[in-house]
């Protein structure tokens, strides 16, 4: 019972606590990773955007401060302004480019200083101009053009994506520094003037006969561009710190979450474990004290219900135990009564058997005397008798013989039941004993015109049996078969050797057979089957005596029958196991099949 309640767990099965902790851990890990990644992405965007805005402001400042120096061609002042811009830490380079892409002034720091070279013509040139020129500036005059440039070897390359990719972020987190700069290009601003209703300025600016000259003038002082590069080195350093901080925070949150999940799972599963332990003990029949559960949740409710159920079960068990104890006493008393009654019945049965034995024995003596005197009368020794007297005497003699047979059977039955039937086992040639029985019943078989067929194997072993009692058994079985066989039918007697060496004897008839409910009754004394012919004589003791005699041989007699088709009685005898008995045997030459 206990085993049923606690089924065997698979080695791969998990406890409820483990499942709770694992599921919480999975949710926590996924949530922390997603949130951490989003946080890092947001911080990266924010930091990069801040850097780009700083670069835009620096570029706009340089454009504003140097706009008149550009017009005046004051490269000395432009260079001074650019050096001021370069003093700002993240600035990698700064340059002023004319509208046709020529470098007016520009300098760089570190590796970017090498990107400014002197051409054979004597003019300086910025290598990045080859990559970014012409810049696709927006129509809005103040809008900056921001792009990302990476140095590969010594050559600047324009990146397609301005943001860091995942691989680059991982490289940065791993300690690598990428040579990436944000390139910011802004226009040098031009100031607009109001000329409405100012005739002097209107005429000066607009009254020209030859307009192409004015356009040419405008073109000569076309606006230039300012290009500022911002190194992402410091940004990458910040991102690296941010990455590890975010990782540490994520791990801390996960660890804290797991600890809380563990505590919660323990809080949930401990009452369940106590309940399981209590239920197991309850199932084993032990007395269980109430499980403590003070939580107000479902587990607390379950604990309360379990305690109530345990109390009810224990009360019922106590009642049942009390009832059992009382019942044993009563059964013991009844058993004593039954034993006493049985002893009384056995005594009565012994007395009955003794009475029957004594009566039968006492009846046999006068009956034998009566049969002697009657035979003398019938044979005319005591005087001549008429034919009618002779027939009467013959009929009386037949009835006396029948009465004697009945008395003999009763005597045999009582002798066996009283345990006074001694068994004298000796080697028996079954063919001789069975043949003797068949021969003894020849008159009856002839009268009923029943043919008895005996089948014996050629190598029939010697059986161990009491020959007289075996003869009696066969007489009773054959008599029963002949009695219930129809006229001109056959009774088959067969002896077969079984695999274990035993010998099985069967007597088969084609009589009316037995109903299933009659099979057990047929061996009871004085039982007469409903299909017994009216002219059949007998007291119903033949099969009972045969059964008892077979059981005396430590075997059993059984019947296989089909109603309307006949019956077959079987019993088994053991063969002789000791060869010292064999010389005492007397052999009768019997053929394989003897017909009567």
8 Å CB contact between 21 and 261 = yes
Asked if 531 interacts with another protein (CB under 8 A), we say no
**Which residue is listed with tokens 């990559």?**
131
Q: Which of 152, 160, 191, 330 binds another protein (CB under 8 A)?
A: 191
Q: How far is the CB of 75 from another protein (least distance, A)?
A: 11
Q: Which of 203, 284, 372, 563 binds another protein (CB under 8 A)?
A: 203
Q: How far apart are CA 90 and CA 48, in angstroms?
A: 12
For residue 437, with 0-12 CB atoms within 10 Å meaning exposed, 13-18 middle and 19 or more buried, which class applies?
A: buried
Measured in degrees and rounded to the nearest 5, phi and psi for residue 126 equal -105, 120
Q: How far is the CB of 192 from another protein (least distance, A)?
A: 8
Q: Which of 206, 332, 362, 382 binds another protein (CB under 8 A)?
A: 206
**Which residue is listed with tokens 């059981």?**
551
Q: Which of 5, 158, 214, 320 binds another protein (CB under 8 A)?
A: 214
Asked if 205 interacts with another protein (CB under 8 A), we say yes
Asked if 198 interacts with another protein (CB under 8 A), we say yes
Q: How far is the CB of 107 from another protein (least distance, A)?
A: 21
Residue 478 has a CB neighbour count (10 Å cut-off) of: 26
The span of 43-51, 69-77, 304-312, 338-346 binding another protein (CB under 8 A) equals 69-77
Of 370, 373, 360, give the one whose Cα is nearest residue 539.
360
Q: Which of 158, 162, 217, 327 binds another protein (CB under 8 A)?
A: 217
Quote the tokens at residue 423: 């068994």
Bridge partners for 427 per DSSP: 464
Q: Which of 50, 73, 285, 300 binds another protein (CB under 8 A)?
A: 73
Q: How far is the CB of 210 from another protein (least distance, A)?
A: 10
- Nearest CB to another protein, comparing residues 60 and 232: 60
The span of 217-225, 305-313, 351-359, 450-458 binding another protein (CB under 8 A) equals 217-225
Q: How far is the CB of 91 from another protein (least distance, A)?
A: 15
Q: What is the dihedral of CA 321, 322, 324, 325, to 10 degrees?
A: 120
Q: Which of 89, 202, 317, 328 binds another protein (CB under 8 A)?
A: 202
Q: How far is the CB of 81 from another protein (least distance, A)?
A: 13
Asked if 193 interacts with another protein (CB under 8 A), we say yes
Asked if 208 interacts with another protein (CB under 8 A), we say yes
Q: How far is the CB of 96 from another protein (least distance, A)?
A: 14
Torsional sign, CA 148, 150, 156, 161: negative
Q: Which of 34, 221, 263, 311 binds another protein (CB under 8 A)?
A: 221
Quote the tokens at residue 249: 């925070």
Q: Which secondary-structure segment (H or E) carries 497? A: strand 490-497
8 Å CB contact between 449 and 488 = yes
Q: How far is the CB of 56 from another protein (least distance, A)?
A: 9
Asked if 71 interacts with another protein (CB under 8 A), we say yes
Q: How far is the CB of 224 from another protein (least distance, A)?
A: 12
8 Å CB contact between 410 and 356 = yes
Asked if 155 interacts with another protein (CB under 8 A), we say no
Q: Which of 154, 207, 298, 388 binds another protein (CB under 8 A)?
A: 207
Q: How far is the CB of 101 from another protein (least distance, A)?
A: 19
Q: Which secondary-structure segment (H or E) carries 270? A: helix 233-283
Strand pairing report for 490-497 and 451-455: parallel
Print the binding letters for residues 28-57 with another protein: x by CB under 8 A, - otherwise.
-----------------------------x
Q: How far apart are CA 70 and CA 244, in angstroms?
A: 46
Asked if 143 interacts with another protein (CB under 8 A), we say no
The span of 133-141, 207-215, 316-324, 386-394 binding another protein (CB under 8 A) equals 207-215
Asked if 140 interacts with another protein (CB under 8 A), we say no
Quote the tokens at residue 401: 């013989």
Q: Which residues of 110-124 are buried (b: 16+ CB within 10 A; e: fewer)?
A: eebeebbeeeeeeeb
Q: How far apart are CA 209 and CA 421, in angstroms?
A: 167
Asked if 591 interacts with another protein (CB under 8 A), we say no
Asked if 68 interacts with another protein (CB under 8 A), we say yes
Asked if 158 interacts with another protein (CB under 8 A), we say no
Asked if 295 interacts with another protein (CB under 8 A), we say no
Quote the tokens at residue 465: 């049996």
- Nearest CB to another protein, comparing residues 14 and 205: 205
Asked if the peptide bond before residue 213 counts as cis, ω within 30 degrees of 0, the response is: no
Asked if 102 interacts with another protein (CB under 8 A), we say no
- Nearest CB to another protein, comparing residues 25 and 71: 71
For residue 82, with 0-12 CB atoms within 10 Å meaning exposed, 13-18 middle and 19 or more buried, which class applies?
A: buried
Q: How far apart are CA 565 and CA 514, in angstroms?
A: 9
Q: Which of 22, 37, 61, 359 binds another protein (CB under 8 A)?
A: 61
Measured in degrees and rounded to the nearest 5, phi and psi for residue 328 equal -65, -40
8 Å CB contact between 347 and 354 = no
Q: How far is the CB of 216 from another protein (least distance, A)?
A: 9
Q: Which of 43, 74, 515, 518 binds another protein (CB under 8 A)?
A: 74
Asked if 215 interacts with another protein (CB under 8 A), we say no
Size of the chain, expressed as the number of residues it contains? 596
DSSP-derived letter for residue 550 is H
Asked if 190 interacts with another protein (CB under 8 A), we say yes
Which residues bind to another protein, rule: CB under 8 A? 57, 60-61, 64, 67-68, 71-74, 190-191, 193-209, 214, 217-218, 220-221
């Amino acid at each position: 019972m206990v085993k049923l309640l606690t089924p065997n767990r698979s080695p791969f099965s998990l406890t409820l606590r483990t499942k709770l902790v694992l599921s919480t851990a999975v949710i926590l890990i996924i949530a922390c990773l997603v949130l951490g990644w989003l946080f890092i992405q947001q911080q990266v965007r924010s930091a990069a955007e801040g850097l780009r805005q700083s670069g835009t402001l620096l570029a706009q400042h340089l454009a504003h401060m140097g706009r008149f120096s550009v017009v005046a061609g004051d490269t000395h002042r432009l260079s001074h302004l650019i050096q001021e811009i370069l003093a700002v830490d993240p600035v990698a380079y700064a340059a002023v480019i004319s509208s046709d892409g020529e470098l007016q002034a520009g300098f760089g720091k570190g590796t970017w200083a090498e990107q400014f070279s002197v051409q054979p013509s004597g003019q300086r040139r910025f290598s990045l101009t080859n990559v970014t020129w012409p810049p696709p500036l927006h129509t809005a005059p103040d809008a900056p053009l921001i792009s990302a440039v990476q140095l590969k070897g010594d050559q600047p390359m324009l990146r397609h994506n301005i943001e860091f990719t995942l691989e680059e972020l991982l490289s940065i987190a791993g300690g690598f520094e990428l040579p990436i700069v944000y390139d910011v290009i802004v226009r040098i601003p031009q100031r607009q003037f109001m000329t409405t209703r100012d005739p002097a300025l209107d005429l000066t600016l607009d009254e020209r006969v030859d307009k192409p000259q004015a356009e040419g003038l405008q073109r000569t002082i076309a606006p230039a561009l300012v290009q500022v590069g911002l190194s992402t080195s410091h940004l990458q350093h910040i991102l690296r710190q941010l990455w590890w901080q975010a990782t540490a925070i994520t791990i801390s949150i996960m660890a804290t979450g797991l600890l809380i999940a563990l505590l919660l799972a323990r809080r949930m599963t401990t009452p369940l474990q106590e309940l399981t332990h209590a239920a197991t003990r309850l199932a084993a029949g032990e007395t269980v004290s109430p499980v403590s559960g003070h939580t107000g949740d479902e587990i607390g409710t379950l604990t309360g219900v379990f305690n109530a159920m345990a109390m009810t079960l224990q009360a019922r068990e106590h009642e049942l135990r009390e009832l059992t104890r009382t019942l044993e006493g009563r059964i013991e008393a009844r058993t004593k009564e039954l034993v006493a009654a049985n002893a009384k019945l056995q005594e009565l049965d012994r007395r009955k058997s003794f009475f029957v034995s004594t009566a039968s024995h006492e009846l046999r003596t006068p009956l034998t005397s009566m049969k002697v005197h009657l035979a003398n009368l019938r044979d005319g020794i005591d005087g001549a008798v008429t034919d009618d007297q002779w027939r009467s005497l013959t009929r009386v003699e037949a009835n006396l013989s029948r009465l004697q047979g009945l008395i003999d059977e009763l005597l045999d039955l009582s002798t066996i039941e009283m345990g006074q039937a001694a068994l004298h086992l000796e080697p028996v040639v079954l063919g001789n004993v069975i043949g003797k029985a068949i021969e003894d019943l020849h008159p009856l078989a002839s009268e009923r015109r029943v043919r008895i067929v005996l089948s014996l194997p050629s190598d029939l072993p010697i059986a161990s049996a009491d020959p007289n009692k075996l003869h009696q058994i066969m007489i009773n079985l054959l008599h029963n078969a002949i009695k219930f066989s129809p006229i001109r039918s056959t009774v088959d007697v067969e002896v077969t050797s079984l695999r274990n060496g035993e010998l099985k004897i069967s007597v088969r008839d084609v009589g009316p057979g037995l109903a299933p409910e009659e099979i057990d009754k047929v061996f009871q004394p004085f039982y007469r089957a409903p299909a017994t012919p009216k002219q059949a004589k007998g007291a119903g003791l033949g099969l009972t005596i045969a059964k008892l005699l077979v059981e005396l041989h430590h075997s059993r007699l059984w019947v296989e029958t089909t109603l309307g088709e006949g019956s077959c009685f079987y019993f088994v005898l053991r063969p002789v196991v000791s060869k010292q008995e064999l010389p005492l045997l007397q052999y009768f030459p019997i053929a394989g099949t003897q017909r009567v």
